[in-house]
Structure 1
Amino acid sequence: MNQPLAESLTQLRVGDQSLLLTFYQQHRNHFARWARQHHNLQSPAAHELLREVLLDFYDQVVDGRITRLPLDLRAYIYGMARQQVSTTFVIQQAQVLPKAEAQRRQKLLQAFMQLSADSQQVLLFFYYRGYNFVTMAGKMGYANANVARIQKNNCLRKLYELLSRSDAVASV
């Protein structure tokens, strides 16, 4: 990285992902070894994890959640990967659920999959990624935060209706 940090951050904000592509190419093999040693991930899974983390980092820069480029980008990216792996592990441990809860979640997932792609994206942005309405409006191309809020409410209403219909069909 021979360019100034501020210039790199500015380039990322305007959509130039060459910094991330270069990082991926230079650190891909080392990251795979690190992930295998510390988290027992095979190379394909490690490469996918690195891509996901780099995309998440890019989203954070574009959204303004990262305002200064870390001095040690590699350590920062590896830390993000470590956090994502530990979060995934906790989720996997929590997946041993009682049968009733597992069935409820399965019905919810089936109803969610019946929603349009835009509705799914809105709900994922709000509930999974934790985006606020301003960020969601920017990501989805809505005019303002109120439109994003209304769209989220409409998506939830559709999901609730799908769940109600599936419950009504199941009780018949």
Structure 2
Amino acid sequence: MSAPLAETLTQLRVGNQKFLIDFYQRSRHLFARWAQRKHRLSAPQAHELLQDTLLDLYDQVVDGRLTLMPTDLRAHLYGMAQQRLAAHVPAHQPLPAAETSRRQHLLAQFSQLGTDCQQVLTYFYFRGYNFDKMGAKMGFPNATVARRQKSTCLRKLHELMRAGHEPITGSVV
């Protein structure tokens, strides 16, 4: 892999799927051989399984379930594919309507937060910054202030989700 794993994870979190596309193009024939040998899938079925597995990985990164990129990504994806087959998950299964609605509502409420809160939560949850690094980026005096600001912003977001209030603006400091 040309990019470090942490950089790849960050790129995925911001929506850049180039890594997944490149991985698919490089690995689909090898994956198809493995799937044919191990699970008796045809090449088109294996390609579809790999695509769905890569989309699952992407969803896990974007929604925060996967916070560290596996060091052996190929083995991790093969394991995910096996779990998908064992669970008999249909191909290209969209998110349930309730989950889609929840995510849209969360995004709408997130956009109502002030820019400082948006930045604090983005640094922590999507870029994986620790409190020291987040504090330095935001100009806070120390990591404790960064931790408290994250907590305050998360509480504001939670309140917005529960109540649907008017936009909250202003600085977190």
Alpha-carbon distance in 2 for matches of 1:29, 1:147: 50
Higher relative contact order structure (alpha carbons within 8 Å, sequence separation ≥ 6): 2
Deviation at 1:30, TM superposition (A): 0.5
* Corresponding residue of 1:73: 73
Count of residue pairs brought into register by the alignment: 111
Amino acid aligned to 1:50: L
Report the alpha carbon displacement of residue 145 of structure 1 after superposing the two structures with TM: 3.8
Contact 1:136/1:145 (8 A) holds in 2: no
Task: Give unpaired runs (5+ residues) of structure 1.
Answer: 92-119, 149-172
Matches within 5 A, 1:110-129: 121-123=96-98, 125=99
Amino acid at match of 1:73: L
User: Alpha carbon RMSD of aligned pairs, Å?
Assistant: 2.8
* Structure 1 residues 40-55: aligned runs within 5 Å: 40-55=40-55
Distance in 2 of aligned mates of 1:2 and 1:14: 19
* TM-superposition CA deviations, 1:27-60 (whole Å, max 9, x none): 0000111001111110111111100010010010
SS for the counterpart of 2:87 is helix
Query: Hey, what does 1:9 align to over in structure 2?
Result: 9
SS of the residue corresponding to residue 74 of structure 1 reads helix
- C-alpha distance in structure 1 between counterparts of 2:80 and 2:70, whole Å: 12
SS in structure 2 at match of 1:88: coil
Q: Kindly provide the amino acid, as one letter, of the partner of residue 87 in structure 1.
A: A
Pick closer, same or farther for the CA change 1:61–1:40 going to 2, 3 Å: same
CA contact (8 A) 1:70 1:76 kept: yes
Distance 1:49 1:8, change over 3 A: same
Aligned-pair CA distance for 1:137: 3.1
> Tell me, what secondary structure is at the counterpart of 2:20?
helix
Shift of 1:146: 4.0
Q: Which sections of structure 2, spanning at least 5 residues, go unmatched?
A: 110-159, 165-173
SS in 2 for 1:66: coil
Q: Could you give the per-residue CA deviations for residues 90-109 of structure 1, whole angstroms, max 9, x where no partner exists?
A: x9xxxxxxxxxxxxxxxxxx
| Identical counterparts, % of pairs | 48
The one-letter amino acid paired with 2:105 is A
TM-score by length of 1: 0.57
Residue type of the alignment partner of 2:82 = R
Query: Is the partner of 1:3 in helix, strand or coil?
Result: coil
